[in-house]
Amino acid sequence: MDMNRHEAVESVVACVGELPALPSVVAEVLQITDDPAVAVSQISDHVQRDPALTAKILKVSNSPYYGMKQHVGSLKLALVILGVREVRNIVLGISVLEQLQDEGMQDSVVTGDFWKHSVTVAALTKRLGAAFALGLQGEDFTSGLLHDMGKMVLFRQLGRTYEQVFTDAGGDSSKLCDLELASFGFDHADVAAALAIHWNLPGSLVDSLWCHHPSASRPLAEANNPRLAASVRIANLAARDDFSKPSAQCASCSDEDAWAVLSAAKVPADIEQRKELLAGFSQELKESPLLDF
């Protein structure tokens, strides 16, 4: 992400106002897990002070959306099986979405299609990461879950002004980005990246949020972790694709830039194989109960 990070944040703040604070529980978990010598029991004891959060971590870990093959019955077991980094990424994802929800948000955005789309993209990104052995430790699920958090910030901060832009787009993501750029000078991907920068989150997460829509001005190859960013982009497109249509009409199968970035991971080069892979993932998720809290 080559653009000046401070300028990115300042330009968004100038339009939407002061950005939300990082959830305190996330700040605490990030701080305690930054210590390589920290014991699993210390992390477990700290997080379990919040029973609701602990329950949500286990719900995510055991959901079909997360793809675990072994049941995780306790936070300590989650830390052992998944690893500290993966659990802290789950905490980051679910806590941030909760923080951004408030009474000013539109119910249809928070509880309807927005949530379903977010968890679907998270699950698809995780499956891509596993299928191509990208060596990710929860960054895939979290990046997918948070990819659209810029929309939540814009709804919170701009209210009816953004609601009108969102409505005018009619559910078309490309049109929404164009309308956002025309109205504000940036789009929701810029806002998501600016918020992640404001929170001092890892560059790989920042760039995966910033690059989740195809754009010549956001080359995947220049992202902090290009393959993570490419996976989120493909997952975002796949979550909206109708795989009953020909492969060439499925945006997730025909995004050659994203698949080229993933080529080192031995991904299918043939568009029909891509469709078969993504359609299989998508069908699995459709047959699973929606992850909800």
Q: Tokens 């404001």 correspond to what residue?
A: 198
Measured CA distances, 212 to 64, 153, 182, 234, 250 (Å): 23, 17, 19, 8, 16
Confidence grade of residue 4 (pLDDT, cut at 50, 70, 90): low
Picking from 6-15, 75-84, 180-189, which range would have the lowest pLDDT averaged per residue? 6-15
Please name the CATH architecture into which domain 5-286 falls. Answer: Orthogonal Bundle (1.10)
The average confidence (pLDDT) of the chain is 89
Per-residue pLDDT for 291 more than 60?
A: yes
* 256 phi/psi in degrees, rounded to 5: -65, -30
Per-residue pLDDT for 240 more than 90?
A: yes
The mean pLDDT value for 254-259 works out to 93
pLDDT in tens, 172-225: 999 999 999 999 999 999 999 999 999 989 999 999 999 999 888 889 998 999
Count of CA atoms in the C-beta half-sphere (13 A) of 228:
25
SS percent in the chain: helix, strand, coil, step 5: 70, 0, 30
Per-residue pLDDT for 271 more than 80?
A: yes
The mean pLDDT value for 144-166 works out to 91
Per-residue pLDDT for 238 more than 90?
A: yes
Per-residue pLDDT for 1 more than 50?
A: no
AA letter at 43 = I
Per-residue pLDDT for 160 more than 60?
A: yes
Per-residue pLDDT for 147 more than 70?
A: yes
Note the pLDDT of residue 106.
Answer: 54
Inter-residue contact 271 to 253 (CB < 8 Å): yes
Per-residue pLDDT for 46 more than 80?
A: yes
DSSP SS3 for 49:
coil
What pTM value is reported for the model?
A: 0.92
Q: Which two tokens stand for residue 103?
A: 């009474």
Q: Tokens 């890892």 correspond to what residue?
A: 202
Residues 6+ positions from 57 with CB-CB distance below 8 Å: 47, 75, 78, 87, 90, 91, 94
User: Could you give the CA distance from residue 265 to residue 177 in angstroms, rounded to a whole number?
Assistant: 30
pLDDT in tens, 89-102: 999 999 998 888 76
